Amino acid sequence: MKGYLIENVTMIPVDGRVSWTVGDIAVAGDRILETGEGLGAKYPELARVSGKDRLALPGLVNCHTHCAMTLLRGYADDLPLMEWLETKIFPREAHLNGEDVYWASMLAMLEMIKGGTTAFADMYYFMEETAKAAAESGIRAVLSRGLTCTDGGGAGRLEENVELARNWHGKAEGRITVMLGPHAPYTTTADYLKEVIAAADEHGLGLHIHLSETQAEVGQIRERYGMGSVEWMESIGLFEGRHVLAAHCVVISPEEREILVQRGVGVAHNPQSNLKLASGVAPVPELLSAGGLVGLGTDGASSNNDLDMFEEMRACAMIHKGVRLDPTLLPASQVLDMATRQGARVAGLDRTGSIQAGYKADLILLNLRKPHLTPMYDPVSHCVYAVHAEDVDTVWVDGKMLMKGREMLAVDEEKILYEAGRRGNDLIRR
Protein backbone atom coordinates (compact mmCIF):
# COMPACT_ATOMS: atom_id res chain seq x y z
CA MET A 1 0.00 0.00 0.00
CA LYS A 2 1.47 3.35 -1.07
CA GLY A 3 0.92 6.10 1.44
CA TYR A 4 2.16 7.62 4.66
CA LEU A 5 1.43 7.77 8.37
CA ILE A 6 1.69 11.07 10.22
CA GLU A 7 2.56 9.89 13.72
CA ASN A 8 1.79 11.38 17.11
CA VAL A 9 0.60 14.70 15.75
CA THR A 10 -1.70 17.25 17.33
CA MET A 11 -4.62 17.54 14.93
CA ILE A 12 -7.78 19.57 14.51
CA PRO A 13 -10.05 17.26 12.48
CA VAL A 14 -12.85 19.83 11.90
CA ASP A 15 -15.33 16.98 11.88
CA GLY A 16 -18.08 18.49 14.02
CA ARG A 17 -17.26 16.18 16.92
CA VAL A 18 -13.73 16.67 18.25
CA SER A 19 -12.11 20.09 18.73
CA TRP A 20 -8.55 18.73 18.79
CA THR A 21 -6.73 15.55 19.64
CA VAL A 22 -3.34 13.83 19.43
CA GLY A 23 -2.82 10.72 17.34
CA ASP A 24 -1.92 9.36 13.90
CA ILE A 25 -3.27 10.03 10.41
CA ALA A 26 -3.06 7.16 7.92
CA VAL A 27 -3.23 8.05 4.22
CA ALA A 28 -3.22 5.84 1.13
CA GLY A 29 -3.52 7.21 -2.39
CA ASP A 30 -5.65 10.35 -2.35
CA ARG A 31 -7.68 9.42 0.75
CA ILE A 32 -7.44 9.43 4.52
CA LEU A 33 -7.69 5.83 5.69
CA GLU A 34 -8.07 6.36 9.40
CA THR A 35 -7.19 8.56 12.35
CA GLY A 36 -6.44 7.36 15.85
CA GLU A 37 -3.74 6.35 18.29
CA GLY A 38 -1.06 3.75 17.66
CA LEU A 39 -1.83 3.11 13.98
CA GLY A 40 1.77 2.20 13.19
CA ALA A 41 1.23 -1.48 14.02
CA LYS A 42 -1.86 -1.61 11.81
CA TYR A 43 -0.16 0.04 8.82
CA PRO A 44 3.51 -1.02 8.93
CA GLU A 45 3.91 -0.51 5.17
CA LEU A 46 3.13 3.23 5.27
CA ALA A 47 6.01 5.72 5.16
CA ARG A 48 6.43 7.51 8.49
CA VAL A 49 6.10 11.27 8.90
CA SER A 50 6.93 12.68 12.32
CA GLY A 51 4.26 14.84 13.91
CA LYS A 52 6.61 16.21 16.57
CA ASP A 53 6.04 19.95 17.12
CA ARG A 54 3.49 19.96 14.33
CA LEU A 55 -0.23 20.71 14.11
CA ALA A 56 -2.30 18.99 11.40
CA LEU A 57 -5.27 20.73 9.80
CA PRO A 58 -7.46 20.12 6.77
CA GLY A 59 -6.20 22.28 3.92
CA LEU A 60 -7.82 25.71 3.84
CA VAL A 61 -10.43 26.50 1.16
CA ASN A 62 -10.37 29.96 -0.44
CA CYS A 63 -13.97 30.31 -1.64
CA HIS A 64 -13.52 33.38 -3.82
CA THR A 65 -10.48 34.85 -5.53
CA HIS A 66 -9.10 36.00 -8.87
CA CYS A 67 -5.67 34.40 -9.30
CA ALA A 68 -4.48 36.51 -12.21
CA MET A 69 -5.02 39.72 -10.26
CA THR A 70 -1.76 39.02 -8.43
CA LEU A 71 -0.17 40.98 -11.31
CA LEU A 72 -2.10 44.06 -10.12
CA ARG A 73 -1.23 43.69 -6.45
CA GLY A 74 -0.72 47.18 -5.03
CA TYR A 75 -1.35 48.86 -8.38
CA ALA A 76 -4.56 50.66 -7.34
CA ASP A 77 -5.25 51.11 -3.64
CA ASP A 78 -7.42 53.29 -1.43
CA LEU A 79 -10.29 53.70 -3.89
CA PRO A 80 -14.01 52.75 -3.75
CA LEU A 81 -14.99 49.63 -5.70
CA MET A 82 -16.50 51.13 -8.85
CA GLU A 83 -13.80 53.79 -9.25
CA TRP A 84 -11.15 51.15 -8.56
CA LEU A 85 -12.63 48.86 -11.23
CA GLU A 86 -13.53 51.37 -13.92
CA THR A 87 -10.55 53.75 -13.77
CA LYS A 88 -7.74 51.38 -12.76
CA ILE A 89 -8.40 47.66 -12.98
CA PHE A 90 -10.52 47.26 -16.12
CA PRO A 91 -8.15 49.44 -18.25
CA ARG A 92 -5.10 47.38 -17.16
CA GLU A 93 -6.90 44.06 -17.55
CA ALA A 94 -7.63 44.95 -21.17
CA HIS A 95 -3.90 44.50 -21.84
CA LEU A 96 -3.58 41.05 -20.25
CA ASN A 97 -2.78 38.03 -22.41
CA GLY A 98 -2.88 34.30 -21.81
CA GLU A 99 0.76 33.99 -20.76
CA ASP A 100 0.29 36.79 -18.23
CA VAL A 101 -2.65 34.93 -16.74
CA TYR A 102 -0.73 31.65 -16.62
CA TRP A 103 2.20 33.12 -14.66
CA ALA A 104 -0.04 35.28 -12.48
CA SER A 105 -2.08 32.17 -11.66
CA MET A 106 1.10 30.27 -10.86
CA LEU A 107 2.12 33.08 -8.53
CA ALA A 108 -1.25 32.95 -6.77
CA MET A 109 -1.07 29.17 -6.40
CA LEU A 110 2.46 29.40 -5.06
CA GLU A 111 1.29 31.92 -2.46
CA MET A 112 -1.77 29.88 -1.54
CA ILE A 113 0.07 26.58 -1.18
CA LYS A 114 2.78 28.20 0.95
CA GLY A 115 -0.02 29.64 3.11
CA GLY A 116 -1.84 26.33 3.61
CA THR A 117 -4.63 26.81 1.06
CA THR A 118 -5.23 23.57 -0.82
CA ALA A 119 -8.38 24.52 -2.77
CA PHE A 120 -9.77 27.73 -4.25
CA ALA A 121 -12.67 29.06 -6.33
CA ASP A 122 -11.71 31.49 -9.09
CA MET A 123 -13.48 33.65 -11.64
CA TYR A 124 -11.56 35.45 -14.42
CA TYR A 125 -10.73 35.05 -18.10
CA PHE A 126 -8.07 33.15 -20.07
CA MET A 127 -9.18 30.44 -17.66
CA GLU A 128 -7.65 27.67 -19.74
CA GLU A 129 -4.31 29.09 -18.59
CA THR A 130 -5.40 29.05 -14.94
CA ALA A 131 -6.53 25.46 -15.39
CA LYS A 132 -3.11 24.51 -16.79
CA ALA A 133 -1.42 26.17 -13.83
CA ALA A 134 -3.67 24.32 -11.38
CA ALA A 135 -2.97 21.00 -13.09
CA GLU A 136 0.79 21.60 -12.89
CA SER A 137 0.90 23.00 -9.35
CA GLY A 138 -1.14 20.18 -7.81
CA ILE A 139 -3.70 22.41 -6.09
CA ARG A 140 -7.48 21.83 -6.13
CA ALA A 141 -9.38 24.41 -8.19
CA VAL A 142 -12.98 25.45 -8.90
CA LEU A 143 -12.81 27.59 -12.05
CA SER A 144 -15.26 29.81 -13.91
CA ARG A 145 -14.97 32.29 -16.76
CA GLY A 146 -16.32 35.69 -15.77
CA LEU A 147 -19.46 36.30 -17.87
CA THR A 148 -20.61 39.81 -18.77
CA CYS A 149 -22.87 40.91 -21.61
CA THR A 150 -23.22 44.69 -21.48
CA ASP A 151 -20.69 45.18 -24.30
CA GLY A 152 -22.32 42.66 -26.64
CA GLY A 153 -19.75 39.89 -26.10
CA GLY A 154 -21.79 37.73 -23.77
CA ALA A 155 -22.46 34.84 -26.12
CA GLY A 156 -18.80 34.30 -26.89
CA ARG A 157 -17.85 34.40 -23.22
CA LEU A 158 -20.51 31.85 -22.34
CA GLU A 159 -19.20 29.52 -25.04
CA GLU A 160 -15.68 29.97 -23.63
CA ASN A 161 -16.93 28.93 -20.20
CA VAL A 162 -18.73 25.88 -21.61
CA GLU A 163 -15.59 24.94 -23.56
CA LEU A 164 -13.57 25.27 -20.35
CA ALA A 165 -15.94 22.74 -18.79
CA ARG A 166 -15.60 20.38 -21.73
CA ASN A 167 -11.82 20.50 -21.51
CA TRP A 168 -11.23 20.63 -17.77
CA HIS A 169 -14.22 19.61 -15.63
CA GLY A 170 -13.10 16.62 -13.56
CA LYS A 171 -9.59 16.67 -15.03
CA ALA A 172 -6.16 16.72 -13.31
CA GLU A 173 -7.02 13.56 -11.35
CA GLY A 174 -10.36 15.13 -10.47
CA ARG A 175 -8.81 18.20 -8.84
CA ILE A 176 -10.42 20.67 -11.27
CA THR A 177 -14.10 21.57 -11.15
CA VAL A 178 -15.66 24.03 -13.58
CA MET A 179 -18.60 26.33 -12.86
CA LEU A 180 -20.23 29.02 -14.96
CA GLY A 181 -19.40 32.54 -13.81
CA PRO A 182 -22.07 35.22 -14.33
CA HIS A 183 -20.03 38.16 -13.11
CA ALA A 184 -22.55 40.32 -11.23
CA PRO A 185 -26.05 41.79 -11.44
CA TYR A 186 -24.74 45.09 -12.80
CA THR A 187 -22.79 43.49 -15.68
CA THR A 188 -25.53 41.15 -16.89
CA THR A 189 -29.17 41.22 -17.94
CA ALA A 190 -32.12 39.01 -17.08
CA ASP A 191 -32.15 37.45 -20.55
CA TYR A 192 -28.44 36.72 -20.43
CA LEU A 193 -28.65 35.24 -16.95
CA LYS A 194 -31.39 32.92 -18.17
CA GLU A 195 -29.09 31.76 -20.97
CA VAL A 196 -26.36 31.09 -18.41
CA ILE A 197 -28.81 29.18 -16.21
CA ALA A 198 -29.92 27.05 -19.16
CA ALA A 199 -26.29 26.26 -20.05
CA ALA A 200 -25.50 25.37 -16.43
CA ASP A 201 -28.41 22.95 -16.30
CA GLU A 202 -27.60 21.45 -19.69
CA HIS A 203 -24.01 20.69 -18.67
CA GLY A 204 -24.61 19.95 -14.99
CA LEU A 205 -22.53 22.89 -13.72
CA GLY A 206 -22.83 25.20 -10.74
CA LEU A 207 -22.76 29.00 -10.78
CA HIS A 208 -20.29 31.47 -9.23
CA ILE A 209 -21.44 35.12 -8.99
CA HIS A 210 -20.58 38.40 -7.24
CA LEU A 211 -23.75 39.40 -5.40
CA SER A 212 -24.90 42.34 -3.26
CA GLU A 213 -21.34 43.57 -2.84
CA THR A 214 -21.99 47.29 -2.32
CA GLN A 215 -24.72 49.80 -1.59
CA ALA A 216 -24.11 51.29 -5.05
CA GLU A 217 -24.77 47.93 -6.76
CA VAL A 218 -27.94 47.26 -4.79
CA GLY A 219 -29.16 50.82 -5.34
CA GLN A 220 -28.64 50.44 -9.08
CA ILE A 221 -30.51 47.13 -9.21
CA ARG A 222 -33.32 48.46 -7.04
CA GLU A 223 -33.68 51.47 -9.34
CA ARG A 224 -33.85 49.23 -12.42
CA TYR A 225 -36.00 46.38 -11.11
CA GLY A 226 -37.63 47.58 -7.90
CA MET A 227 -35.94 44.98 -5.73
CA GLY A 228 -32.56 44.07 -4.20
CA SER A 229 -29.90 42.05 -5.99
CA VAL A 230 -30.69 38.78 -4.20
CA GLU A 231 -34.42 39.24 -4.78
CA TRP A 232 -33.76 39.88 -8.46
CA MET A 233 -31.69 36.70 -8.77
CA GLU A 234 -34.50 34.80 -7.05
CA SER A 235 -37.07 36.22 -9.47
CA ILE A 236 -34.96 35.06 -12.42
CA GLY A 237 -34.63 31.57 -10.96
CA LEU A 238 -30.84 31.65 -10.47
CA PHE A 239 -30.92 29.78 -7.15
CA GLU A 240 -33.46 27.12 -8.01
CA GLY A 241 -32.22 23.55 -8.28
CA ARG A 242 -28.50 24.13 -8.69
CA HIS A 243 -25.35 24.83 -6.69
CA VAL A 244 -24.66 28.57 -6.42
CA LEU A 245 -21.59 30.23 -4.91
CA ALA A 246 -22.39 33.89 -4.15
CA ALA A 247 -19.42 36.10 -3.29
CA HIS A 248 -19.79 38.95 -0.77
CA CYS A 249 -23.53 39.31 0.07
CA VAL A 250 -22.71 42.41 2.10
CA VAL A 251 -25.91 44.42 1.50
CA ILE A 252 -28.85 42.08 2.02
CA SER A 253 -32.22 42.52 3.71
CA PRO A 254 -33.60 40.01 6.26
CA GLU A 255 -35.91 38.73 3.52
CA GLU A 256 -32.95 38.21 1.17
CA ARG A 257 -31.05 36.46 3.93
CA GLU A 258 -33.93 34.02 4.21
CA ILE A 259 -33.84 33.42 0.44
CA LEU A 260 -30.12 32.55 0.60
CA VAL A 261 -30.67 30.19 3.52
CA GLN A 262 -33.72 28.46 2.09
CA ARG A 263 -32.11 28.01 -1.33
CA GLY A 264 -28.88 26.64 0.18
CA VAL A 265 -26.75 29.28 -1.53
CA GLY A 266 -23.09 29.12 -0.51
CA VAL A 267 -21.85 32.56 0.53
CA ALA A 268 -18.17 33.49 0.22
CA HIS A 269 -17.38 36.06 2.91
CA ASN A 270 -14.42 38.29 1.98
CA PRO A 271 -13.90 40.47 5.07
CA GLN A 272 -10.57 42.09 4.22
CA SER A 273 -11.42 42.99 0.63
CA ASN A 274 -14.80 44.35 1.73
CA LEU A 275 -13.09 46.50 4.34
CA LYS A 276 -10.37 47.78 2.05
CA LEU A 277 -12.87 48.80 -0.63
CA ALA A 278 -15.24 50.20 2.04
CA SER A 279 -18.00 47.94 0.79
CA GLY A 280 -19.22 47.18 4.29
CA VAL A 281 -19.45 44.18 6.59
CA ALA A 282 -21.61 41.23 5.58
CA PRO A 283 -24.22 40.03 8.13
CA VAL A 284 -22.41 36.75 8.64
CA PRO A 285 -23.49 36.06 12.25
CA GLU A 286 -27.12 36.44 11.20
CA LEU A 287 -26.64 34.21 8.15
CA LEU A 288 -25.02 31.50 10.25
CA SER A 289 -27.63 31.76 13.01
CA ALA A 290 -30.34 31.28 10.40
CA GLY A 291 -28.64 28.12 9.13
CA GLY A 292 -26.85 29.67 6.17
CA LEU A 293 -23.79 28.22 4.49
CA VAL A 294 -20.80 30.59 4.68
CA GLY A 295 -17.16 30.12 3.74
CA LEU A 296 -14.21 32.50 3.56
CA GLY A 297 -12.44 34.04 0.57
CA THR A 298 -9.63 36.48 0.04
CA ASP A 299 -10.93 38.02 -3.20
CA GLY A 300 -8.14 39.03 -5.59
CA ALA A 301 -4.69 40.17 -4.48
CA SER A 302 -5.33 43.61 -5.94
CA SER A 303 -8.07 44.29 -3.41
CA ASN A 304 -6.76 42.52 -0.33
CA ASN A 305 -3.62 42.56 -0.98
CA ASP A 306 -2.63 38.97 -0.30
CA LEU A 307 -4.12 35.47 -0.42
CA ASP A 308 -3.50 34.62 3.23
CA MET A 309 -6.43 32.66 4.63
CA PHE A 310 -5.08 32.81 8.19
CA GLU A 311 -5.31 36.59 8.00
CA GLU A 312 -8.83 36.21 6.61
CA MET A 313 -9.85 34.03 9.53
CA ARG A 314 -8.47 36.48 12.04
CA ALA A 315 -10.19 39.43 10.35
CA CYS A 316 -13.49 37.54 10.18
CA ALA A 317 -13.44 36.63 13.86
CA MET A 318 -12.52 40.12 15.03
CA ILE A 319 -14.58 42.34 12.72
CA HIS A 320 -17.95 40.93 13.68
CA LYS A 321 -17.16 41.08 17.40
CA GLY A 322 -16.17 44.71 17.05
CA VAL A 323 -19.05 45.82 14.83
CA ARG A 324 -21.68 44.21 17.07
CA LEU A 325 -19.87 44.81 20.39
CA ASP A 326 -20.14 41.12 21.26
CA PRO A 327 -16.91 39.17 21.93
CA THR A 328 -18.76 35.84 21.83
CA LEU A 329 -19.70 36.12 18.15
CA LEU A 330 -17.91 33.86 15.65
CA PRO A 331 -15.68 31.92 18.04
CA ALA A 332 -12.45 30.46 16.68
CA SER A 333 -13.93 26.99 16.12
CA GLN A 334 -16.71 28.38 13.94
CA VAL A 335 -14.35 30.52 11.87
CA LEU A 336 -11.96 27.60 11.31
CA ASP A 337 -14.93 25.52 10.16
CA MET A 338 -15.79 28.29 7.65
CA ALA A 339 -12.23 28.14 6.28
CA THR A 340 -12.22 24.34 5.90
CA ARG A 341 -15.25 22.05 6.09
CA GLN A 342 -17.95 24.65 5.45
CA GLY A 343 -15.80 26.38 2.83
CA ALA A 344 -15.53 23.10 0.93
CA ARG A 345 -19.33 22.89 0.84
CA VAL A 346 -19.61 26.48 -0.36
CA ALA A 347 -17.19 25.68 -3.20
CA GLY A 348 -19.10 22.49 -4.06
CA LEU A 349 -16.25 20.15 -3.09
CA ASP A 350 -17.26 16.70 -1.90
CA ARG A 351 -15.52 14.92 1.01
CA THR A 352 -12.99 17.70 1.44
CA GLY A 353 -12.25 20.06 4.33
CA SER A 354 -12.05 17.59 7.22
CA ILE A 355 -9.61 15.03 8.60
CA GLN A 356 -11.63 11.85 8.74
CA ALA A 357 -11.70 8.45 7.07
CA GLY A 358 -12.74 8.51 3.42
CA TYR A 359 -12.04 12.21 2.93
CA LYS A 360 -9.54 13.60 0.45
CA ALA A 361 -6.00 13.79 1.82
CA ASP A 362 -5.78 17.58 1.54
CA LEU A 363 -3.70 18.22 4.65
CA ILE A 364 -1.32 20.79 6.08
CA LEU A 365 1.18 20.70 8.93
CA LEU A 366 2.00 23.82 10.92
CA ASN A 367 5.33 24.27 12.71
CA LEU A 368 4.52 24.98 16.37
CA ARG A 369 8.11 25.78 17.40
CA LYS A 370 7.55 29.51 17.12
CA PRO A 371 7.59 32.26 19.77
CA HIS A 372 4.14 33.49 18.78
CA LEU A 373 2.70 29.98 19.17
CA THR A 374 4.17 29.35 22.63
CA PRO A 375 2.60 28.34 24.98
CA MET A 376 -0.30 26.56 23.30
CA TYR A 377 -3.38 26.01 25.46
CA ASP A 378 -5.90 25.74 22.62
CA PRO A 379 -4.73 24.85 19.09
CA VAL A 380 -8.04 25.99 17.57
CA SER A 381 -7.67 29.45 19.08
CA HIS A 382 -4.06 29.65 17.88
CA CYS A 383 -5.08 28.83 14.29
CA VAL A 384 -7.41 31.82 14.14
CA TYR A 385 -5.69 34.36 16.38
CA ALA A 386 -1.96 33.59 16.27
CA VAL A 387 -0.85 31.46 13.29
CA HIS A 388 0.82 33.14 10.29
CA ALA A 389 0.95 31.78 6.75
CA GLU A 390 4.71 31.31 7.18
CA ASP A 391 4.03 28.74 9.92
CA VAL A 392 2.79 26.26 7.29
CA ASP A 393 5.53 23.64 6.96
CA THR A 394 4.11 20.82 4.81
CA VAL A 395 1.20 20.59 2.37
CA TRP A 396 -0.50 17.64 0.68
CA VAL A 397 -3.29 17.73 -1.91
CA ASP A 398 -4.90 14.47 -3.01
CA GLY A 399 -2.28 12.72 -0.91
CA LYS A 400 0.60 14.22 -2.92
CA MET A 401 3.17 16.33 -1.09
CA LEU A 402 3.39 19.80 -2.66
CA MET A 403 5.61 21.43 -0.01
CA LYS A 404 7.95 20.06 2.64
CA GLY A 405 9.84 22.16 5.13
CA ARG A 406 8.67 25.31 3.26
CA GLU A 407 10.32 24.01 0.08
CA MET A 408 8.06 23.74 -2.95
CA LEU A 409 8.22 20.33 -4.60
CA ALA A 410 5.76 20.60 -7.50
CA VAL A 411 6.75 23.94 -9.06
CA ASP A 412 9.85 26.10 -9.56
CA GLU A 413 9.38 28.94 -7.08
CA GLU A 414 12.20 31.12 -8.36
CA LYS A 415 11.03 30.89 -11.97
CA ILE A 416 7.49 31.84 -10.97
CA LEU A 417 8.70 34.86 -9.00
CA TYR A 418 10.88 35.98 -11.92
CA GLU A 419 8.20 35.59 -14.61
CA ALA A 420 5.40 37.13 -12.55
CA GLY A 421 7.54 40.09 -11.51
CA ARG A 422 8.68 40.71 -15.08
CA ARG A 423 5.20 40.46 -16.54
CA GLY A 424 3.65 42.64 -13.84
CA ASN A 425 6.10 45.45 -14.49
CA ASP A 426 5.52 45.12 -18.24
CA LEU A 427 1.73 45.16 -17.83
CA ILE A 428 1.76 48.51 -16.08
CA ARG A 429 3.68 50.05 -19.01
CA ARG A 430 1.45 48.64 -21.79
Can you give the pLDDT at residue 328? 97
* Same domain (yes/no): 334, 257: yes
CB 199 within 8 A of CB 154: no
Can you give the pLDDT at residue 146? 97
Question: Using alpha carbons only, what angle is made at residue 161 by residues 155 and 167, rounded to the nearest 5 degrees?
Answer: 135
Kindly report, residue by residue over 183-199, the tens digit of the pLDDT: 999 999 999 999 999 99
Domain of 8 in residue numbering reads as 3-58+359-407
CATH number at residue 283: 3.20.20.140
Whole-angstrom Cα distance, residue 39 to residue 35? 8
Kindly report, residue by residue over 253-271, the tens digit of the pLDDT: 999 999 999 999 999 999 9
Whole-angstrom Cα distance, residue 346 to residue 249? 13
User: Which stretch of 68-77, 82-91, 181-190 has the lowest confidence by average pLDDT?
Assistant: 82-91
Kindly report, residue by residue over 16-59, the tens digit of the pLDDT: 999 999 999 999 999 999 999 999 999 999 999 999 999 999 99
CB 249 within 8 A of CB 296: no
CB 52 within 8 A of CB 44: no
Kindly report, residue by residue over 311-364, the tens digit of the pLDDT: 999 999 999 999 999 999 999 999 999 999 999 999 999 999 999 999 999 999
* Same domain (yes/no): 39, 80: no
Would you say residue 415 lies in a domain? Answer: no
* Same domain (yes/no): 311, 400: no
Q: Is the pLDDT of residue 1 over 80?
A: no
* Same domain (yes/no): 220, 309: yes
CB 210 within 8 A of CB 148: no
* Same domain (yes/no): 43, 66: no
**pTM of the shown model:** 0.97
Would you say residue 221 lies in a domain? Answer: yes
Would you say residue 430 lies in a domain? Answer: no
Number of domains present in the structure of the chain:
2
The band of 80, judged by pLDDT with boundaries at 50, 70 and 90, is confident
Can you give the pLDDT at residue 429? 82
* Same domain (yes/no): 80, 178: yes
Would you say residue 119 lies in a domain? Answer: yes
* Same domain (yes/no): 218, 70: yes
Can you give the pLDDT at residue 2? 86
Would you say residue 422 lies in a domain? Answer: no
* Same domain (yes/no): 88, 230: yes
Whole-angstrom Cα distance, residue 311 to residue 314? 5
**Mean pLDDT of the 7-19 span:** 96
* Same domain (yes/no): 66, 18: no
CB 169 within 8 A of CB 145: no
* Same domain (yes/no): 185, 222: yes
